Amino acid sequence: MLLDAGTQSIETARLLLRRFERGDAKNAFRHWCSDPKVTRYLKWSAHQHLLQTEQTLNYWIKEYRDPCCFHWAVTLKGTGELIGGISLIVKDRFDERAEIGYSFGSAYWGQGYGHEAAEAVLRYGFERVGFNRIEGICAVANLSSARLLEHLGLRREGLHLKMCRLSDGSFTDCYSYGLLAEDYFRSRQ
Ligand SMILES: CC(C)(COP(=O)(O)OP(=O)(O)OC[C@H]1O[C@@H](n2cnc3c(N)ncnc32)[C@H](O)[C@@H]1OP(=O)(O)O)[C@@H](O)C(=O)NCCC(=O)NCCS
């Protein structure tokens, strides 16, 4: 059975993952939500106005009332700088199954932050909440996301034709990845 831990802070070597706050909107907009490089392979378009980011954050903040909601703001421990967001979306409570999703400001790519944050969120998902399976879905052209999932130990399980519609309206083939709790715990022995 899932433990309804909600979004609790997580500390890693360089990062503090914490709940979003209303005051984060300006930096979230500036650092990644308004950047078309970030949203290239996402379903949502880069935000044109700060109001869009405020609305997204307000929605997530309201969702924190649900103890099975997991949206973290990713900040640098030293400076408190907000560099991205990472979530676990519950796909099915009965099946104890969630999907990981993330986006980071392009200025922070390639420094291992995505890996560090996602590794901590997988640990939280398996060890604290008790998911049986965590999945990742990415557009086939989204090589950095595919590699990130593979480096994290998720296994590529399928290729799905025209599975997702991107923000430009085009349909893209996607890879699906999955990691089972039993494989996660075995890899840590
Ligand atoms: C996908 C995304 C989150 C990657 O973030 P990032 O911070 O650049 O990723 P990292 O720096 O952690 O990873 C870079 C590389 O180092 C690897 N790596 C980093 N730390 C590692 C570690 N401790 N152990 C093993 N591998 C590690 C990564 O897997 C990756 O491998 P590669 O060299 O084969 O590409 C980022 O590009 C992004 O925000 N993209 C836009 C949004 C998006 O597309 N989201 C995904 C939707 S499916």
According to the model, what pLDDT value does residue 30 have?
A: 98
According to the model, what pLDDT value does residue 74 have?
A: 98
Ligand 1 contacts CB of residue 102 (under 6 A)? yes
Q: What is the pTM of this model?
A: 0.95
Three-state DSSP state, 72: strand
Look at residue 74 and tell me if it is in a domain.
yes
For ligand 1, atom 16, name the residue with the nearest CA.
Answer: 112
Q: Is the pLDDT of residue 69 over 90?
A: no
The model's confidence at residue 3, banded by pLDDT at 50, 70 and 90, is: confident
Do residues 104 and 129 make contact, with C-beta atoms less than 8 angstroms apart? no
Which CATH number fits the domain that encloses residue 175? 3.40.630.30
CA–CA dist 105, 35 (Å, integer)? 8
The model's confidence at residue 67, banded by pLDDT at 50, 70 and 90, is: confident
**DSSP 8-class letter at 94:** T
The model's confidence at residue 1, banded by pLDDT at 50, 70 and 90, is: confident
Number of structural domains in the chain? 1
In 105-166 the beta strands, taken as DSSP E runs, fall at 133-139, 155-165
Ligand 1 contacts CB of residue 78 (under 6 A)? no
For ligand 1, atom 24, name the residue with the nearest CA.
Answer: 151
Look at residue 4 and tell me if it is in a domain.
no
Q: Is the pLDDT of residue 140 over 90?
A: yes
State the residue range of the domain holding 131: 10-187
According to the model, what pLDDT value does residue 68 have?
A: 85
Q: Ligand 1: which atom is nearest the Cα of residue 41?
A: 44
CA–CA dist 155, 70 (Å, integer)? 22
Look at residue 5 and tell me if it is in a domain.
no
Q: What is the CA(65)–ligand 1 centre distance, in A?
A: 30
According to the model, what pLDDT value does residue 72 have?
A: 98
Q: Is the pLDDT of residue 189 over 90?
A: no
Ligand 1 pocket, mutate which of 109, 143, 163, 177 (most atoms under 8 A from CB): 109
Do residues 21 and 9 make contact, with C-beta atoms less than 8 angstroms apart? no
Look at residue 136 and tell me if it is in a domain.
yes
According to the model, what pLDDT value does residue 184 have?
A: 98
